[in-house]
C-alpha cells in the first residue's frame, strides 16, 4: 500500500517537474535560521492521496563545521527522510538515516531527490494549510518553521525560482 502511494506520488512529481518552465526570479525565501544554518524554500504539496504527503526544503550551512540532519518532526504526521534512487532504470524511494550538510554547503530536498515523506497523516494536507515542522541536527541545533501547503505546480515553480548559491 505504502509502495503504491509512494509510486503515485513519484509519478505526479515527475509530471509536475516536466511542466515547470523557466521563469526564474526572486531571491530564495529564508524561513528559519539558527547559528550557521538557514532553511530556505520550505513547501509541502497538497496530498495526492489521503495518506500521502511530502515536504521539501533547503538547509544552507555557512559555518566551518559539517552538520547532519537527523530527524524531522511535525504534528501533521510521521516524517521520514527519503531519497529517490534509480536502479536498472527504475526510480524507487528509499529511507535515509541522516542527511549531511557540508560546511559552506547545503542539503537540498526537492522533487526527484531527497524529500521528507509523511505517513500516518492526522489528515490530508490541503491547499492553504500550514504545517509546523521541526528539524533536529547532530550539532544539537533545532530549526522550527511553518510550511505552507501549495499545489504541486506551485511548489515546483517556487523551488525553481533561484536557490542559495552554495554547493
Residue whose CB is less far from Cu ion, 55 or 93: 93
Smallest gap, in angstroms, from Cβ of residue 158 to Cu ion? 20
Residue whose CB is less far from Cu ion, 37 or 131: 131
Tell me the per-residue interface mask from 58 to 97 with Cu ion, x by CB under 5 A, - otherwise: ------------------------x----------x----
3-state SS, one letter per residue, for the chain: CHHHHHHHHHHHHHHHHHHCCCCCCCCCCEEEEECCEEEEEEEEECCCCCCCEEEEEEEEECCCCCEEEEEEEECCEEEEEEEEEEECCEEEEEECCCEEECCCEEEECCCCCCEEEEECCCCCCCCCCEEEEEEEECCCCEEEEEEEEECHHHHHHHHCCCCCCCC
Residue whose CB is less far from Cu ion, 76 or 93: 93
Nearest to 52 by CA among 98, 101, 10: 10
Considering only residues 93-132, where is the footprint of Cu ion by CB under 5 A? 93, 117
Smallest gap, in angstroms, from Cβ of residue 93 to Cu ion? 4
Smallest gap, in angstroms, from Cβ of residue 25 to Cu ion? 29
Residue whose CB is less far from Cu ion, 22 or 95: 95
Smallest gap, in angstroms, from Cβ of residue 2 to Cu ion? 9
Smallest gap, in angstroms, from Cβ of residue 80 to Cu ion? 8
Give the residues lining the site for Cu ion (CB under 5 A). 82, 93, 117
Amino acid at each position: 500500500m505504502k509502495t503504491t502511494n509512494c509510486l503515485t506520488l513519484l509519478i505526479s512529481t515527475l509530471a509536475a517537474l516536466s511542466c515547470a518552465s523557466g521563469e526564474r526570479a526572486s531571491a530564495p525565501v529564508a524561513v528559519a535560521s539558527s547559528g550557521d544554518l538557514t532553511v530556505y524554500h520550505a513547501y509541502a504539496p497538497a496530498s495526492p492521496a489521503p495518506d500521502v504527503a511530502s515536504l521539501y526544503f533547503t538547509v544552507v550551512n555557512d559555518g566551518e563545521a559539517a552538520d547532519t540532519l537527523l530527524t524531522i518532526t511535525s504534528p501533521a504526521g510521521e516524517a521520514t527522510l527519503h531519497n529517490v534512487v534509480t536502479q536498472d532504470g527504475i526510480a524507487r524511494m528509499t529511507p535515509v538515516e541522516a542527511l549531511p550538510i557540508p560546511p559552506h554547503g547545503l542539503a537540498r530536498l526537492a522533487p526527484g531527490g531527497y524529500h521528507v515523506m509523511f505517513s500516518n497523516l492526522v489528515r490530508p494536507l490541503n491547499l492553504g494549510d500550514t504545517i509546523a515542522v521541526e528539524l533536529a541536527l547532530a550539532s544539537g541545533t533545532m530549526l522550527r518553521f511553518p510550511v505552507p501547503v501549495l499545489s504541486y505546480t506551485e511548489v515546483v515553480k517556487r523551488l525553481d525560482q533561484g536557490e542559495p548559491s552554495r554547493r
